[in-house]
Structure 1
């Protein structure tokens, strides 16, 4: 009698455990749950990428300070950008960089 009760109880417990496991897995595979998991993983990847970028920036600043010290550049030097280049409105045909451009259009669909 005790054997039957034991095995009946063990079987019922195993059934409840298996049903609970299957229901949890099915809930994890719903579209809403999968979307939430994907969003959480994307957020985690974004945080890791941000941390990496901050580490790189800190490393760059440290290396720049080391190079400034090695080259004898003081912190008193102003770091200004160079003045913007000015382009001439009139082409200088005597300039060796000047390239003659044809005015003929190679587009056959264009009216001439």
Structure 2
């Protein structure tokens, strides 16, 4: 029984070593390197997306804090538009194109 156990353990270890060696050999090929680079770029893109979302959330929170501060100090509510039309800019004449 002891010989059978050691034989099975050796066979399992051999299969494990052969599979790991195949994986390492694949990683050293151009296709394996390309997969590793692709996975790294995917992780980087995901991290950048998460960072951008956190920055936008922080900006929104800070903008809200600033609006509350302005309203509290001046009584003016930022973001509200006046009922008067905006003044017109320029003379109304269009600029001519340079080519004629």
- TM-score under structure 1 length normalisation: 0.56
In structure 2, the partner of 1:48 is 47
Match of 2:27 in 1: 28
Look up the match of 2:70: 71
Relative contact order: is structure 1 or structure 2 higher (C-alpha 8 Å, sep ≥ 6)?
2
Distance 2:56 2:5 in 1: 65
Structure 2: distance between partners of 1:31 and 1:55: 36
Distance in 1 between the 2:9 and 2:60 partners? Answer: 65
User: How far apart in 2 are the matches of 1:6 and 1:61?
Assistant: 65
Q: CA deviation at 1:35?
A: 0.9
| Alignment CA distance shift 1:54-1:17 (3 Å) | closer
For residues 20 and 35 of structure 2, the distance between their equivalents in structure 1, rounded to whole angstroms, comes to 20
Q: Which secondary structure does the structure 1 equivalent of 2:64 belong to?
A: helix
Structure 2: distance between partners of 1:4 and 1:64: 74
Query: How many pairs does the alignment contain?
Result: 79
- Sort the Cα spacing of 1:77 and 1:62 in 2 relative to 1 into closer, same or farther, 3 A: farther
Q: Distance in 1 between matches of 2:49 and 2:2?
A: 61
Name the one with the larger helix percent: 2
Q: CA deviation at 1:3?
A: 4.9
Structural RMSD (CA): 2.5
